[in-house]
């Protein structure tokens, strides 16, 4: 009897959602989507611009799951899908149940991830909870632990890459070109790792409010340098895109 009572007292834990953009034209290229921002991340990327989502998210107002579903449901015919980003969404075990709710109302889902939770990512793919995956490949896999201060093996990253490529769903891999962290030679190593993939996105570094003060004043690669990086990568992918930011002079 005591066990039954305890089971009845267990409350469902909602997925923490720190941000909800009802309409985005940029988070899922070529699609109209809503974007959900999840707090928390296992990495400590020194150039990250979302420090509050990592270190101070407990103080952020959290949006209720039911409110999100109630808002999205009547918009499914208008929207192409929902983008789940962060932070790192896969740090939350509650994500599985929430994606099930999105699937039940007919919502297609794009997931942004750093690829470190390879088993969880594979499980989401197998359950057909996601329709598009965008994975950050930040540096060469053997440099992850020293760069991002999280215990992770090369095989974790490789397994995520392979799961995505074999999934049969749409995807891209992306790398932020951070001066001093990702050089032309580093990019060549990343390109070798991902060669043959459908889509590769090269993203310009944004030097503002970074976690590490060492990166705040770093000058980003110029547009012409980014174009040169694209030329290095282009022969090895079906498509290479540049994501250039509007930077202050």
Report DSSP letters for 134-162, one per residue.
EEE--S-GGGHHHHH-S---HHHHHHHHH
Would you say residue 138 lies in a domain? yes
Would you say residue 4 lies in a domain? no
CA distance 11 to 200: 42
Give me the mean pLDDT over the 197-205 stretch.
97
Would you say residue 34 lies in a domain? yes
Would you say residue 29 lies in a domain? yes
Would you say residue 2 lies in a domain? no
State the CATH number of the domain containing residue 132: 3.20.20.70
Would you say residue 8 lies in a domain? no
Would you say residue 248 lies in a domain? no
Would you say residue 19 lies in a domain? yes
Q: 112-165 pLDDT, tens per residue?
A: 999 999 999 999 999 999 999 999 999 999 999 888 877 888 899 999 999 999
Instruction: Give this prediction's pTM.
Output: 0.91
- Domain of 49 in residue numbering reads as 13-243
CB-based contact 191:150 (threshold 8 Å): no
Number of domains in the chain: 1
């Amino acid at each position: 009897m005591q066990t039954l009572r305890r089971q009845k007292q267990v409350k469902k834990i909602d997925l923490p959602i720190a941000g909800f953009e009802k309409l985005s034209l940029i988070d899922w290229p070529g699609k109209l989507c809503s974007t959900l921002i999840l707090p928390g991340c296992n990495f400590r990327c020194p150039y990250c611009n979302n420090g509050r989502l990592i270190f101070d998210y407990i103080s952020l107002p959290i949006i209720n799951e039911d409110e999100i579903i109630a808002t999205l449901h009547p918009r499914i015919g208008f929207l192409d899908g929902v983008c789940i980003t962060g932070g790192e969404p896969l740090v939350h075990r509650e994500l599985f149940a929430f994606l099930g709710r999105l699937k039940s109302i007919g919502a297609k889902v794009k997931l942004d991830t750093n690829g470190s939770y390879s088993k969880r990512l594979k499980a989401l793919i197998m359950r057909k909870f996601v329709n598009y995956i965008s994975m950050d490949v930040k540096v060469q896999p053997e440099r992850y632990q020293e760069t991002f201060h999280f215990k992770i093996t090369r095989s974790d990253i490789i397994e995520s890459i392979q799961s995505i490529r074999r999934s049969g769903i749409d995807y891209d891999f992306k790398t932020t070109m951070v001066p001093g962290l990702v050089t032309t030679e580093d990019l060549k190593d990343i390109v070798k790792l991902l060669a043959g993939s459908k889509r590769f996105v090269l993203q310009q570094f944004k030097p503002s409010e970074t976690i590490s003060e060492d990166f705040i004043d770093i000058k980003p690669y110029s547009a012409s340098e980014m174009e040169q990086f694209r030329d290095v990568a282009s022969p090895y992918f079906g498509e290479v895109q540049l994501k250039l930011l509007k930077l202050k002079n």
